[in-house]
Amino acid sequence: MFLDLVQVFDSSFRMATPLLLACLAGLFSERAGIFDIGLEGKMLAAAFLSAAVAAMTGSVWLGLLAGIGASVVMSVVHGLASITFRGDQIISGVAINFLAAGLTVVVSQSWFGQGGRTPQLTGAGRFETLDMPGALQGAEKASANPMMHLYSELVSGHTILVYLALLMVPLSWYVLYRTRFGLRLRAVGENPAAVDTAGVNVVFLRYSAVLICGVLCGIAGAYLATALQAGFVKEMTAGRGFIALAALIFAKWRPWHALYACMLFGFLQALALRPDLIEKYLAIKVQVQLLDALPYILTVVILAGLVGKATPPKAGGQAYVKEN
């Protein structure tokens, strides 16, 4: 039973990684007062371009850079619409989602002619797992002690982007709560007029947050296409951007709580991959479709406010107009 549980948690880390990166992306953006419904679209665009470039060049690192670039471009579009032109941030985000959903399929079909898919990635075209020193492989795990199980399954055997996502949690906390930039960023999301009065450029801070959001969404999308899977397929984000938004609300816009919330969603997704364990240990026959739906059900519950009140940044969603 212990080994089965460890393997589920191992899958939870893999499934939670894109959610965590997207959640932290939304955290930076919304802390600066820019609501971003377009996380889904940025991830989807990044997933497509990273897989396409990796397939054409054979380099997963070039694919990663391309994915980040695609997401950053969409972030700039969102920034122009919501910061420079003071448009509705929700509408801008929704438009990005529609744009990415349509363009990825059309361009993919035009480039590869495989029905909106990219070619299968192999070798240097995708991220491989990293085996830590001393980690056990294959049948060796069955006779190992619990500590070796934890080390070999949970610590070892992930791609570099999984470790990067985990590293981003303390780094995000440090930037937001221990640096002058983070203090100003959070202040912009609460009271941009006071920040402007203090002589700090509100537009620069908000664009900085939007660009950070773009970079993190780009990594999340590239992870989906070049690490979690081996290529791009139509709508492969499957609502993860919206799940990340729900996790952000559940975490009340705090980095460490974002990790816990995303791990919960990742655990539910991992559990859907192993319905046999529920039947084996709980003697309950559960429909696979119900397990697949659990993360989305929890998303609706969170967005409906049924898990406690979450107060967003006070200036969130509001365009700032400088007083003369």
Which parts of the chain fold into alpha helices (H)?
A: 2-31, 39-57, 60-79, 89-112, 146-150, 160-178, 180-190, 192-197, 202-223, 240-250, 255-273, 275-282, 288-303
Dihedral pair phi/psi, residue 198, rounded to 5°: -80, 0
User: Is residue 324 scored above 60 in pLDDT?
Assistant: no
**Interatomic CA distance for residues 7 and 26, integer angstroms:** 29
For the chain, give every domain's residue range. Answer: 2-125+159-303
> Left (φ > 0), alpha (ψ -120 to 50) or beta: where does 166 sit?
alpha
pLDDT digits (tens, 9 = 90+) for 189-219: 999 999 998 889 999 999 999 999 999 999 9
Identify the three-state secondary structure at position 307.
Answer: coil
Average pLDDT, the chain: 89
**Segment of 62-71, 111-120, 271-280 carrying the highest mean pLDDT:** 62-71
Rounded to two decimals, what is the model's pTM?
A: 0.94
CB 138 within 8 A of CB 153: no
pLDDT digits (tens, 9 = 90+) for 213-245: 999 999 999 999 999 999 999 999 999 999 999
User: Is residue 286 scored above 80 in pLDDT?
Assistant: no
- How far, in whole angstroms, is CA 5 from its chain's centroid? 24
pLDDT at 288: 75
pLDDT digits (tens, 9 = 90+) for 81-111: 999 999 999 999 999 999 999 999 999 999 9
Q: What is the CATH number of domain 2-125+159-303?
A: 1.10.3470
pLDDT digits (tens, 9 = 90+) for 26-70: 999 999 999 999 999 999 999 999 999 999 999 999 999 999 999
